Amino acid sequence: MNCKIGIPWPSAVGYVSEATGEWYLTFITRQWVTGCIVRGKGCRSKQLFLWTKNQASLKGNSSPSQGLPSSAQALSIHIDGNGCGREKWREPMKIVVIGGTGLIGSKLVKNLRERGHDVLAAAPNTGVNTITREGLAEAMDGAQIVVDVANAPVWEDKAVLEFFETSGRNLLAAEAAAGVRHHVALSIVGSERLPDNGYFRAKVAQENLIKASGIPYTILRATQFFEFVGGIAQAGTVDDEIRVSPALFQPIASDDVAAALADVAVAPPVNGTVEVAGPEAIPLDEVVRRYLRATQDTRKVVPDVHARYFGSVLDDQSLTPGVNARIGAIRFEDWVGQQAR
């Protein structure tokens, strides 16, 4: 990457995200940046996050612990094949991540802070509870975007439905009162196709609340996470055999889900649903078999078309995305190999 800038700078920090392909370059300067051109191959959206004032508080550090300071601005430059760019400035936004300390939420918070935004990781253990409403109004104060990635603490059908309905109503009411401009929710590919699954029914109920709220929204439906495969294997275990469906399965890495959520959050609301999935559609029994092989688990995997997936019988369309889904970069084979080390 080459960056031309109108003034000298004392230091710069840059890296490329393998998950998203985005390039990041951070400057610490004593005056305003007058212009920047990024030269790169291909036609992609690059994000530059520029510290545009002297940051005395850094005390020699190249980056603050909680993302960029409030004086920063974000510059989005679209690069064409000739290396020419169009510049667009925007101020950092306050983004509240509900469930911001969990598997997806913690990755999303980190991603958005690296993009220069003021991000609040909201969860019961940080003083924000969408069931009791504790800290909810205060968290929404000044927020432009809310991303809901909260997970139910229970799996029983009635309890999980009550969680998503109560949490959703409280959260959306608080957002409406605060004037939030974009509500983003993480949901599940195939939710409406598996009505026998109580968790999936609850996610559909959550989606319906969002659609009826009047708040501009985007629902991101993801396929099942790589991190869930061990639990799927355990749920299908009887003695030393694992009976699972051979239906197609297109799981995705949690890192790719967090990257997609970050992109969706800072984009305009679509007032609809988008999907994200892993790069490979593989029969579920084969996914489990690869996981066991990598983790040196000797249990036998038995493909069974009648085996239920948390209450539902699967076919090849049950848990796979539509034709226009965003596709993650991380392959299951690469991910599971990392876990086994």
| Domains of the chain from N-terminus onward | 2-90 (no CATH), 94-340 (3.40.50.720)
Q: What is the pLDDT of residues 72-94, one digit of tens each?
A: 334 333 333 333 333 343 578 99
**Secondary structure element (H or E) that encloses residue 25, with its range:** strand 23-28
In contact, 216 and 271? CB cutoff 8 Å: yes
- Token match 């559609």: residue? 281
Judge whether residue 7 has pLDDT over 90: no
Q: What is the pLDDT of residues 106-122, one digit of tens each?
A: 999 999 999 999 999 99
Q: What is the mean pLDDT of the chain?
A: 80
Q: What is the pLDDT of residues 274-329, one digit of tens each?
A: 999 999 999 999 999 999 999 999 999 999 999 999 999 999 999 999 999 999 99
Greater confidence, 229 or 46? 229
Alpha carbon distance 11, 2 (integer Å) = 15
Mean pLDDT of 146-150: 98
Long-range contacts, 229-233 (Cβ 8 Å, 24+): 229/287, 229/288, 229/291, 229/336, 230/291, 230/295, 232/284, 232/288, 232/309, 233/288, 233/291, 233/292, 233/297, 233/299, 233/301
In order, the DSSP letters of 240-278 are TEEEE--SEE--B-HHHHHHHHHHHHHSPP-SEEEEEE-
The CB density around residue 117, as the number of other CB atoms within 10 Å, is: 24
Alpha carbon distance 30, 185 (integer Å) = 39
Alpha carbon distance 109, 157 (integer Å) = 29
Give the pLDDT score at 341. 67
Give the pLDDT score at 47. 39
Give the pLDDT score at 240. 87
Give the pLDDT score at 338. 85
Task: pLDDT band for 155, please (50, 70, 90 cuts).
Answer: confident
In contact, 341 and 267? CB cutoff 8 Å: no
Distance of CA 335 to the CA centre of its chain: 17
| Tokens standing for residue 29 | 């300067």
Mean pLDDT of 241-248: 96
| Tokens standing for residue 66 | 């909680």
Task: pLDDT band for 194, please (50, 70, 90 cuts).
Answer: very high
Sheet strands (E) in 290-336: 300-303, 308-309, 312-313, 326-327
Alpha carbon distance 60, 303 (integer Å) = 58
Give the pLDDT score at 90. 52
The CB density around residue 250, as the number of other CB atoms within 10 Å, is: 22
Which pTM was predicted?
0.75
Residue 341's identity, in one-letter code, is: R
Greater confidence, 145 or 153? 145
Going by C-alpha positions, the residue among 85, 82, 59, 57 that lies closest to residue 69 is 57
In contact, 160 and 198? CB cutoff 8 Å: yes
Judge whether residue 237 has pLDDT over 70: yes
In contact, 118 and 68? CB cutoff 8 Å: no
| Tokens standing for residue 162 | 């009550």
Give the pLDDT score at 290. 95
Alpha carbon distance 65, 61 (integer Å) = 9
